[in-house]
Structure 1
Amino acid sequence: MCRVFVCSCFGVTDQQIKEHAAAGACTPRQIASVSKAGTDCGSCVRTIQGLLGRGACPRRALIEKGETALAETALAETALAETALVETPLSEAA
């Protein structure tokens, strides 16, 4: 398997960008929120824009159909899956 790194700073590959896009991330900012790609030196932002293309956004298509809630849920699920945040109450952290 050949890995093509789009973001050297955070080790994000073109395949990961494509997976995020398929899951509903339509802009470089949305890609950054789930992967950090483009948030350090910024040299990969244009490549990310190129990978995202124009008009091929599943989330945008859902919004145009009036299914905004479904699109937002899909994006939120993608973000949670990528960050895998685990919140610990302050009382347990001490």
Structure 2
Amino acid sequence: MNRVYVCSCFGITDKQVKDHAAAGACTPRQIASVTKAGTDCGSCVRTIQGILGRGACPRRELLEKGGAAAVLAADPELAEAA
């Protein structure tokens, strides 16, 4: 199995980014909060954006349907931070 590193600073692979995206991460910032990818030199941020693409995002869909209140209600971690 070939590993394709997206972030050399922290050794994060494209598979890890895809796995976190499948778990609900929708933005490079959300990927960074879990993996640190993109927080050192920043050269991988565009690659992460490309992997994330414009696919379905549960939080984005909630925002479109019901605004910020719906997102906060659906994600307890965000509600605690607010």
State the TM-score, normalizing by the size of structure 2.
0.76
**Partner in structure 2 of residue 5 of structure 1:** 5
Off by >4 Å, runs of 4+ in structure 1: none
Aligned mates of 2:18, 2:55 — CA distance in 1: 14
Alpha carbons 1:32, 1:38 under 8 Å: kept = yes
What amino acid maps onto 2:51 in structure 1?
L
Unaligned runs of 5+ in 2: 78-82
Larger radius of gyration: 1
Q: Find the counterpart in structure 2 of residue 14 from structure 1.
A: 14
The alignment-based identity, stated in percent, is 78
Deviation at 1:16, TM superposition (A): 0.8
Mapped partners of 1:3, 1:15: distance in 2:
8
Higher RCO (CA 8 Å, separation ≥ 6 residues): 1
**Residue pairs, 1:1-94, within 5 angstroms:** 1-66=1-66, 67-68=70-71, 69-70=73-74, 72-73=75-76, 76=77
Alignment: residue pair count: 73
Mapped partners of 2:19, 2:58: distance in 1: 12
